[in-house]
Structure 1
Amino acid sequence: MTKHTYDMGLVGNCAFLGLIGTDTAVRWLCWPRFDSSFVFGSLLDEDKGGEYSIRPAAGITAPGRQYYQPNTNVLCTEIETEDGRYRVTDFAPRFPQYERYYKPLMFIRKVEPLSGAPRIRVACRPVGKYGELALTRRRSSNHIAFLGLEEEIRLTTNIPLTYIFDEEDFVLNETKYLVLTYGAPLEAPLESTAERFLLGTAAYWRDWVKSTSIGSFHQEQVIRSALALKIHQYEDTGAVIAATTTSLPEAPGSTRNWDYRFCWMRDTYYILTAFNNIGHFEELERYFHFIANISTKVKDKFQPLYGIGGASELTETELPLAGYLGNQPVRIGNDAYTHIQNDVYGQVLVALLPLYVDSRFRDPERVAPLGLVEECLRLIETTMDQPDAGLWEFRHIAQKHCYTYLFHWAGSHAARRVAQSIGDTAMEARATRLLNMAQERLEECFNAERGVYTNAIGSPHLDASTIQLITMGYLDPSSERAKHHLAELEKELMTPEGLFYRYRHPDDFGTPETTFLICSFWYVEALACVGRVDEAVVEFEKLTKYANHLGLLSEDVDAKTGSQWGNFPQAYSHVGLVNAAYRIAHRLDKPSFVG
């Protein structure tokens, strides 16, 4: 079996995301939001997904050379043809303007000849309603309008419109520009504006990287992961989505095809830790605001996930699309929003802790009122003995999960720190009582015969999420119990390549076939924690080889072939890389919330 990789580059500006193939085709782009219908979606259906490409007239004979301008999200694709060579530079404008960030729904493509006189063909056919709606075209003086959606899509270009309308070949003998907009069109000089936006966008990203706190350990990979993570934040609300895409299968034929364009509360601690580790507080604060906004809607429980605008109802439906490489079903929405997942309360508490104990945040009440801390404590108490779907969101399995109790413990720890910082003795006492209760439940997960914590009370199965008993400081990393626990997980869940399965027991869809990349990064962190730093470095370097040609990571990896599977790029995986690199670089043994 050959190695499968996602041969695409990611562009974005915190308002939208796009995936560009090495043949210049826009394989995925949703407008006007991350979770909207695609306007280009050939990734999931070549026929219904529309097209936006700048291909050689004779067709692609070999993949293009694709790379980022250093330390930016500006993507370049170079294509070699019999007639010559050309480069397509793709970017989503983002730069400061008028005391805020300019981040329009505008996708700019610069096409320039590099040698010879290449003949090219431009196709631009956006669609609506996940391919069910064909848009009508209207030709104007210097642009083509695509009509049928709530707002107009407009392509403004200095390429003769006839060539685009008819998809006819032409010789590329000078630099051409294509500016595609949703809603507000470009009403400014084309060429000079595109160049100004390109320079401004590249400068913005390079300045952002310069302001990033990154150690010397594998800087290049950490920078790329940080840049990818940054544009998965929907800046308008502060939400961070799990991945750019929907319905890319966890393994071929597995039917584990999910929509990940939402904000999972289970990711909160890891995402905020990553932003904190690289010293980006603007993103932290925006995410705090999103969480605080969600909390005002909570009645009986937090959901496992929410829409990027705070929507709580994310009904899962299947679409009549061919699917990625024929893998069906294609789903939008995610029924996991209906699940019981009780670790979320601890996640929120741990996430909010820096507001109250980090002196860089001077007014926590403005962002997240103290009542939110009290409410999360109440919910931990209410759900302490309630079975749930767990971190991996089992659809028909409810247990008292070790991971859930770990976050009950961590959340109570965090709340106690908050209470101590503000002198609230009643809250401190309540948090301490819940912390002790969570610790008792955690110890019920310990299998003394095997010397390992199982995935749930009374269960014989192991789960990679329990690695975090070590990384989050519940187990003393220098203790024999921690070292033996890690050794048992290695025996059962680690592949010879150093990758980790989430678990090996059957779930609602059978036994998992591929490894989950963030679990491998958790393992690297644990190695560093227990003092096996040299091994941590070796394992980290192995994991970087599972990135695509641009350093972008998927959700899952087939251990035997090294193939990328699952949604892509996966913010969770990039978070894992950032945090593992930080842990190695600083040889940390406990996260900052443990006191």
Structure 2
Amino acid sequence: MARTLSANTSSLELSPIGNCQVSGLIDETAGLVWGCVPRVDGDPVFCALLNGAKQDAGVWRFELEGQVSSSQYYERNTPILITRLEAEDGSAVEISDFSPRFERSGRMYRPVAYARVVRPVAGTPRMKVVMRPMRDYGAQLAETTNGTNHIRYLVGNQALRLSTDAPVGYVLEQRTYRVESDQHFFLGPDEPFSGNLRAELRTMEEMTRRYWRHWVRGLATPFEWQDEVIRAAITLKLCQYEETGAIVAALTTSMPEAPNSERNWDYRYCWIRDSYYTVQALNRLGALDVLEKYLAYLRNIVADAKGGQIQPLYSVMGVAELDETTAPHLAGYRGMGPVRKGNAAYKQVQHDCYGQIVLPTVQGFFDRRLLRMADDHDFQSLEQVGEMAWKMHDQPDAGLWEFRTRQEVHTYSAVMSWAACDRLANAAAELGKTDRSEFWRKRADTIRETVEEKAWVENGEGGHYGASFESEYLDASLLQLVELRFLKPDDPKFLSTFAQIEQDLRRGEHMLRYAAEDDFGLPETAFNICTFWLIEALHLAGRDEEARGLFCTMLGHRTKSGLLSEDMDFETGELWGNFPQTYSLVGIINCAELLSKSWNMIR
């Protein structure tokens, strides 16, 4: 799809590239506007996305003289992005963007590097390279030194080296010049580039292409919506920091949930809450490589937990302290600050996290495909987490939605504690530990009785589960009671609760998390994963045609890159929040798998 160029304004029309070590977001005109080094939670050396009106700093773009339009697409089944820039005289270039990823010397080659190839494809294009990385969260431009065929950029305590066969002087001075042959750019570690740059980058591009296409071949995609699921799956993999296996909630920080709301959070961390849903999606796809590494990350979290105590989120390295500060030199997305680094939610009390870590980890006791299955030692460690779930199941917390100024006994947290005990009973039975299975089953039964007594609200509309033990308001997490196997789809209590959630929280084709006022006022946007939960609930209630229609509508809200952020304006459909959002990718995958027609349709 072609785009006519206008004044530079940040938007979420962004396309991720990456290699599970480093990632970047490319805008519609091939500008690298977001990219952190040496990993996703590092310093954003490319930060134009959050630099307000200063779009010429913290960016790497190619500007075609007389440029009038651009078009963009991913190469099939890869995260290799192709952008075509066209000028008013008919000249054009194509830019290929990727981060190298392939097996070499018996291991995965995934450097902290961005590779870009510019190819003249029409006329006699004249182009300018704007290369202005920054350091210390936008505090200043990176200092440079250069040689005959490279430029060094000093970013913090490290340096990046741009190796290129383009004229270095033109790049340094941002001068326009004729592009008469393919030009190659490799921004990576500060070390001499070995070999012929042109030949090596072309080889890297081909091997990266081959890696991703072979990876996609192993996915168990549904019959319908294959392209949509494949793009979501590739991006979900890009959100994994492969060294540890952690999967971050998003690649960005501080994209506001709504305009000028100050609901700006750093999502470049691994939320334990996301574990269950992410593993569920990976299971449905059969993406075992991502799944195994993620389970290993969770096992490390459990092993490091003191007395089984789990916090809501950790860094990709498993670091617990994520002190929240602001970056004063960055104005924010469209000037809507603050820009935050770190996330104070790590200090919050969120009791659902115990169930959230038990549910995915338990798979290791049952899944015969895994290279390393869980054992007795793993079970003993997990029991400590279960003890915390039991201890806290009826205690107040900040809840799933991370309220910062109030605590209640949230029903979702209590049900997650039930699920932790229930699944531990299943794991114990699988290991032949009959006494431990009975022990955890009794605890699960006790928690169920508590939830039924404390969370059920009688009213004139058939009654419903409340969002907490202390109140009668509703929230979208109650739609998960069937998914967690606490209720069956035809349970009258679920159907009644669902009906009242639709009445209170549904806004046409969107679903709110909750409608009650929170720490920042009334919610202004819908939460995309909640809309996917609505779609799942419609399916479970036998309303398949409505579910399919709503799912197709949600797919229509995706960016041109086929992705979604966290939030959406339920009146205009504009996307808000951090991007790309892991939760939303999971929603696409799970709903497609649930709603798709069978592969038997083609037989």
| TM surpasses 0.5 | yes
**Cα deviation code 1:444-498 (max 9, x no counterpart):** 21112142111101212110011001222222112333222211111111111x2
Given residue 292 of structure 1, which amino acid in structure 2 is its aligned partner? R
Aligned counterpart for 1:345 among listed residues 354, 358, 364:
354
SS state of the match for residue 38, structure 1? strand
| Aligned counterpart, 1:543 | 554
Aligned residue number for residue 35 of structure 2: 29
Deviation at 1:96, TM superposition (A): 1.5
CA distance, structure 2, for counterparts of residue 16 and residue 274 of structure 1: 23
Distance 2:285 2:362 in 1: 18
Q: Structure 1 stretch 20-29 or stretch 133-142: which is displaced more?
A: 133-142
Question: Hey, what's the Cα distance between the residues in 2 that align with 1:367 and 1:179?
Answer: 48
Map 1:246-285 onto structure 2 (within 5 A): 246-285=253-292
TM-score by length of 2: 0.94
Contact 1:289 1:367 in 2 (8 A): no
d(CA) in 2 for partners of 1:438 and 1:115?
68
Deviation at 1:442, TM superposition (A): 2.2
- Report the 3-state secondary structure (helix = DSSP H, G, I; strand = E; otherwise coil) of the residue aligned with 2:277: helix
> Which of 178, 186, 202 matches 2:193?
186
Q: Match for residue 591 of structure 1?
A: none
Is residue 106 of structure 2 the alignment partner of residue 99 of structure 1?
yes
Report the Cα distance in structure 2 between the residues aligned to 1:198 and 1:163, rounded to whole angstroms: 25
Q: Could you tell me how far apart the structure 1 residues matched to 2:354 and 2:381 are?
A: 10
Contact 1:354 1:361 in 2 (8 A): no
Check 1:260–1:362 CA distance in 2 against 1; reply closer, same or farther (3 A cut).
closer
Partners in 1 of 2:464 and 2:528 — Cα distance?
Answer: 22
Q: Tell me if 1:12 matches 2:50.
A: no
Q: Which residue does 2:246 correspond to in 1?
A: 239
Matched residue, 2:129: 122
Q: Which amino acid aligns with 1:492?
A: D
Q: What is the DSSP-based 3-state SS (H/G/I as helix, E as strand, rest coil) of the residue aligned with 2:49?
A: coil
8 A Cα contact 2:532 2:551, kept in partner: yes
Q: In the alignment, is residue 55 of structure 1 matched against residue 55 of structure 2?
A: no
Cα 1:362–1:16 change in 2 (3 A) is closer
CA distance, structure 1, for counterparts of residue 170 and residue 199 of structure 2: 23
Give the letter for the 1:507 counterpart.
D
Matched position secondary structure for 1:510:
coil
List aligned pairs for 1:78-97, cutoff 5 A. 78-83=84-89, 84-97=91-104
Alpha-carbon distance in structure 2 between the residues aligned to 1:487 and 1:480: 10
Q: Whole-Å Cα distance in 2 between the matches of residues 420 and 254 of structure 1?
A: 49
1:593 equivalent in structure 2: none
- Stretch of structure 1 that moved more, 506-515 or 470-479: 470-479
Map 1:459-478 to 2 at 5 A.
459-478=471-490
CA distance in 2, matches of 1:304, 1:279: 26
Query: 1:354-393 residue pairs with structure 2 within 5 A?
Result: 354-361=363-370, 363-365=372-374, 369-393=378-402
Indicate the residue corresponding to 2:601 in structure 1: none
Matched with 1:448 is 458
Residue deviations 1:488-543, cap 9 Å, x none?
111111111x2100000011111110000001111111122222222211111111
For 1:438, the aligned partner's letter is: I
Partner of 2:435: 426
Rounded to whole Å, the distance in 2 between the matches of 1:112 and 1:212 is: 32
TM-score, length of structure 1 as denominator length: 0.95
Matched, 1:72 2:81: no
The unaligned stretches of length 5 or more in structure 2 are 1-8, 599-603
Alignment of 1:123-522 (within 5 A): 123-300=130-307, 301-320=309-328, 321-361=330-370, 363-365=372-374, 369-443=378-452, 444-449=454-459, 450=461, 451-496=463-508, 498-522=509-533
Q: Aligned equivalents of 2:306 and 2:96: distance in 1? A: 48
SS at match of 2:48: coil
- The amino acid of 1:42's aligned partner reads A
Per-residue CA deviation, residues 323-360 of structure 1 (Å, 9 max, x unaligned), is 11011111100000000011111111111121112222
Q: Secondary structure at the match of 2:25?
A: strand
Contact 2:223 / 2:597 at 8 angstroms: preserved in 1?
A: no
> Partners of 2:174 and 2:553 in 1: how far apart?
44
**How many correspondences in the alignment?**
582
Partner amino acid for 1:12?
G
Structure 2: how far apart are the matches of 1:247 and 1:341?
Answer: 22
Could you tell me how far 1:21 is from its partner in structure 2?
A: 0.8
Q: Say if 1:210 and 1:158 are closer, same or farther in 2 by CA, change over 3 A.
A: same
> What is the Cα deviation at residue 26 of structure 1?
0.8
What is the RMSD computed on CA atoms of the aligned residues? Answer: 1.7
CA offset at residue 367 of structure 1? Answer: 11
Name the residue aligned to 1:592: none
Counterpart residue number, 2:5: none
Which residue type is aligned with residue 372 of structure 1? Answer: S
